[in-house]
Structure 1
């Protein structure tokens, strides 16, 4: 490549006047070009802390990069697959991947398969290119509203999968095969949803599932992370009783710090029975608990990653082994569980606001 024959100072001057989007494409030309960009543009590359993939349909992908200040989009790459083909140039070729569309679909099912394969190759190719340039320490995220599930990529830390994806448990599990230990996963509107047994999704630190008519008992019983938010699920009150008794006796849920459940089943929970069967006690005064919960920003906006949550309650349970206290709020259709040492606690207040 002729560019690499220029003196280092000339290369630095040229690269310094290019946008990040241009550097990404240029970095895919060769490993030597990639190394040159990394060496001369290290301060600019290190500013990027988050790269987010937005999949809104099967025909396009939006890629946004944000700095640690989230002051705005530092880099934006928008790809429409068909538009590239009309120019007889595919994103796969730009990012160093050979064509996969060696045949043309004739039927709807063939087109579906063709689109899936093409889309997967493109996204994987771009992701690998960005990994080579920015490194694995960047926070890579997927936000998908597609009717298809997103491909499984390495080094993904946060995922949002929206309402148009299928709900097959094994296919959903496959999405996280290459990034099993994610920090935050949101599964929204795909219900009724069922996870695989011993699913890696249960190991997520922050997990939110908002899927109408989903059975939440197995999800709650298998969760191993820090924060679980279940919305519009069916959940038996026996599962809440078991959670509280297991936590008190140190038989499970050791990692759990925050839990919220919004129950959608026709039958209301029996608050008195839950309290009796699990030994929930009452304080004389109310306690106000505040903590931060993970949220998933939009594709193009990088701020508001954390949201303040708050409850006011007198109800609590203590763990037998170490005296750790967890506060609970129970209503006929809502349940909240907060470990006291993980929240900010103040006294007073006679209201509840979630």
Structure 2
């Protein structure tokens, strides 16, 4: 059957009943076929929220799409070529580069049931770049692109329009530092880290602290040292060993306007203390208070860590809007931050407005 010989409406109906993975693979047949798929399935492609390159530990990416309804569909895996690929291999021209593909049928491999693009050790980056270039053209700019990795020993490629999200839930006890890894990495969208070491593994000027969002579960406040070095927008800290003085020092330095210039929201949870003493904290940070008879404004920013889009979020990262009668003012520009203490959770939300503008919302 030659699909191109049918009328356009018939083509559209046939393609509409083909799943996303097979549409993706069918698009490699020819430029004409790719154009037919893109034009006839435009409305369907609008249901795609993101395209993801997911790297599991010590492996190259599995490429999948995530629909707006949460459904996930694998498209392709990318891996190093084996010594014997067998007769099932076939070559396709992907953005001007010939790449060998294979379908794994058997349970003996972790790629069971997936189409796999293979590469020689010296062409890993070139193959991934070619595939991504193809994806950009095929899916367009309406889709969010993410590189998701769990491994700090594999370099992250620098790809156009791709946001990098990293999960550092295992750091070898032998790791002296992570500076080399972050120095060669692209800028990161989000980092989720779990660590039990008190040693600082990255420099203060590391890209680690420049990530837009950092979510931590740490035993010691010394690493990562978010309160002193974070330069991003959102951070969610869960720590076992932290003193109230660390929070007070953070707020007072923010008030001076010498750090945390981009900060939108900070959420902190102390696992040791069952609750924080609000009066002491508010006194030590020089907090101001809105009349309790009035309704304070609600501070709202996206609080989700990108990594958690696909996972159940914990209590700290899904904290939601901040509604509080307590606030502090930054000296340099008179901007306001709402402060809220709920049991063992401290929350800090920065407003893009002056105190005068902030109070005007209450009147």
Per-residue CA deviation, residues 1-26 of structure 1 (Å, 9 max, x unaligned), is: x9697467375455444322122223
Give the conservation status (yes or no) of the 8 Å contact 1:215–1:233.
no
In structure 1, C-alpha distance between the alignment counterparts of 2:307 and 2:54, rounded to whole Å: 11
> Which residue of structure 2 aligns with residue 66 of structure 1?
66
TM-score calculated relative to the size of structure 1: 0.65
**Cα distance in 1, alignment partners of residues 345 and 203 from structure 2:** 26
* The 10-residue stretch of structure 1 (235-244 or 254-263) with the greater mean CA deviation from structure 2: 235-244
Confirm whether residue 256 of structure 1 aligns to residue 263 of structure 2.
Answer: yes
1:87-236 equivalences in 2 (<5 Å): 87=86, 96-98=97-99, 123-146=128-151, 148-149=153-154, 151-154=156-159, 155-157=161-163, 159-164=165-170, 168-175=178-185, 177=186, 180=187, 182=189, 185-189=190-194, 192=197, 194-213=201-220, 215-216=222-223, 218-232=225-239
C-alpha separation in 2, matches of 1:169 and 1:265: 30
**Per-residue deviation, 1:214:** 6.1
Partner Cα separation in structure 2 for residue 164 and residue 216 of structure 1: 14
Calculate the TM-score normalised by the size of structure 2.
Answer: 0.64
2:77 to 76, 79, 87: 79
Match of 2:50 in 1: 50
Q: What whole-Å deviation, never above 9, does each CA across 1:207-262 have from its counterpart, x for those lacking one?
A: 32334446357544343332112333876777644532343243343432211234
Report how far residue 128 of structure 1 moved. 3.2
Partner of 2:109: none
Give, in angstroms, the shift of residue 298 of structure 1: 6.3
Q: Give the aligned CA root-mean-square deviation in angstroms.
A: 4.9
Higher helix share: 1
Q: What's the offset of the Cα at 1:337?
A: 1.7
Distance in structure 2 (CA, Å) of the matches to 1:281 and 1:230: 24
Q: Given that residues 192 and 307 in structure 2 are in contact (C-alpha distance below 8 angstroms), is that contact kept between their aligned partners in structure 1? A: no
Change (3 A) 1:117 1:207: farther
Give the drift of 1:171: 0.8
Q: Distance in 2 between matches of 1:11 and 1:229?
A: 49
Residues 118 and 30 (structure 1), Cα distance of their counterparts in 2 relative to 1, 3 Å cut: same
Q: Secondary structure at the match of 1:293?
A: coil
Shift of 1:134: 0.5
Could you tell me how far apart the structure 1 residues matched to 2:266 and 2:51 are?
29
CA distance in 1, matches of 2:282, 2:326: 9
Give CA-to-partner distance per residue, 1:71-124, whole Å, 9 cap, x none.
523x3236384898644566986855446xxxxxxxxxxxxxx99867656654
Unaligned runs of 5+ in 1: 100-113, 346-354
Distance of aligned partners of 1:327 and 1:51 in 2 relative to their CA distance in 1, 3 Å threshold: same
**Separation in 2 of the partners of 1:311 and 1:241?**
19
Contact conserved, 1:188 with 1:210, CA < 8 A, in 2? yes
Task: Using the TM superposition, give the Cα deviation of residue 131 of structure 1 relative to its aligned residue in structure 2, in angstroms.
Answer: 1.9
Report whether the alignment pairs 1:319 with 2:330.
yes
CA contact (8 A) 1:92 1:125 kept: no
2:56 aligned counterpart, secondary structure:
strand
Task: Give the paired residue count.
Answer: 320
**Equivalent residue, structure 2, for 1:21:** 21
**Counterpart contact for 2:339–2:347, Cα < 8 Å:** yes
Name the counterpart of 2:111: none
User: 1:149 touches 1:161 (CA, 8 Å); kept in 2?
Assistant: no
Say whether residues 1:309 and 2:323 are aligned partners: no
* Cα distance change, pair 328–56 in 1 and its aligned pair in 2 (3 A): same
Which of 304, 307, 311 is matched with 1:294 structurally?
304
1:326–1:3 Cα change, 3 Å: same
Separation of aligned partners in 2, 1:173 and 1:160? 14
Q: Distance in 2 between matches of 1:28 and 1:152?
A: 23
